Amino acid sequence: MRTSVLLFVAGLCVLNGISSLKICAFNVQSFGESKANNKRVMGMLLKILSRCDVCLIQEVRDSKGEAVQALVKDLNSRFDKSNSYSYVESERLGRKTYKEQYVFIYRSNVLKVKEHYQYPKQEGDGSNETATFSREPFIVRFHSPTTLVKDFVLIGHHTCPRNAMKEIDQLYTVFKGIHKKWKTDNVMILGDLNAGCSYVTIKGWRAVRLRSDPKFLWLIGDEQDTTVRERTHCAYDRIIVHGREIISCIVPGSAQPFNFKENFHLTEEEALEVSDHFPVEVDLKPNHRYLLRNEL
């Protein structure tokens, strides 16, 4: 009897210390060799990324592939030894000489990558100007034993500003294809969608299927500000969720931009060295039974 009570008390202590799973998306603004060699910028990026269990980083511009490797190496060896980090990356994407990559950096002791998929080019009539996406979405399916929702898909995307509304609408088609391919409803679309200010219109929103279909929940609202500059107030970066199971697992109030300028007491100039965007994030509820069973 005494042993049972002690186990119960220990279990309560464990539960009190259990955290949710944090999913983030961050446009790091031209992340490459220059930023990787800037110790102050890398220090800030490590602080930001170590808050997340998985983070989609965008605008990776490093053709050698060394900047992301250095970032993940520092996360593992210097900054956060309590977790092990890995990453999965897209192809280098872009219509002309300008290329970007999507990279998901994740805690491999918490999440497992089941599969990933590079959305194929849709060339229209074959010209660069009629292609559906400037940078095709990168899609990863994760297994998450510590959360109530066990499997979910993250669709990462960075729209071209001048075609933002068209690309956001086409993400509906991407979702439908993934739903058919992997037979799952639990999907999250995230990234810098340029879904605010001059790149969108009220009239244009009516034609965007992700907005008109009530099954999609927009977690970052139009009134939010995901930009670093004080003179701008735009909800460029978004998180959109589909699926009753994953929606029911979202921690209320957790979806928001992370203002690293205020949190780390930076000037605007210092913050802009890191990026002109704030990351956006959301938490998923933990599976207390699983965590308690594995802790005790």
Q: Which of 59, 136, 157, 158 is catalytic?
A: 158
Residue 63 confidence (pLDDT) = 86
Q: What is the pLDDT of residue 4?
A: 46
Q: Is residue 268 part of a domain?
A: yes
Is residue 1 a part of any domain in this protein? no
pLDDT at 292: 61
Name the 3-class secondary structure at 142.
strand
pTM: 0.91
Between the CA of residue 92 and those of 32, 136, 247, what are the distances in Å?
13, 10, 32
The DSSP 8-state label assigned to residue 95 in this structure reads S
Predicted confidence at residue 8, as pLDDT, reads: 43
- Residue 100: active-site member: yes
Instruction: Examine residue 222 and state whether it is found in any structural domain, yes or no.
Output: yes
DSSP state, residue 100: B
* Kind and range of the H or E run holding 10: helix 2-17
**Local mean pLDDT, 10-residue blocks, the chain (296 residues):** 44 54 98 95 97 98 92 90 95 92 98 98 58 94 97 98 96 98 97 97 94 97 98 98 98 98 98 98 89 58
DSSP string, 181-194: HH----EEEEEE--
Catalytic residue among 59, 100, 167, 281: 100
Is 9 inside a domain boundary? no
Determine whether 269 is exposed, middle or buried from the number of CB atoms within 10 Å of its CB (0-12, 13-18, 19+): exposed
Identify the pLDDT of residue 3.
46
Q: How far apart are CA 233 and CA 214, in angstroms?
A: 26
Q: What is the pLDDT of residue 10?
A: 41
Q: Which DSSP state fits 200?
A: -
Integer CA distances (angstroms), 29 to 96, 170, 272, 276, in order: 18, 24, 9, 7
Residue 134 resides in a domain: yes
Residue 7 lies in a domain: no
Q: Could you tell me the CATH number of the domain that includes residue 41?
A: 3.60.10.10
Q: Residue 45: helix, strand or coil by DSSP?
A: helix
Range of the domain at 109: 20-295
Give me the number of domains the chain comprises.
Answer: 1
Does residue 8 belong to any structural domain of this protein?
no
pLDDT of residue 129: 55
Residue 5 lies in a domain: no
Walk across the sheet containing 187-192 and list its strands: 112-118, 138-143, 151-156, 187-192, 237-242, 216-218
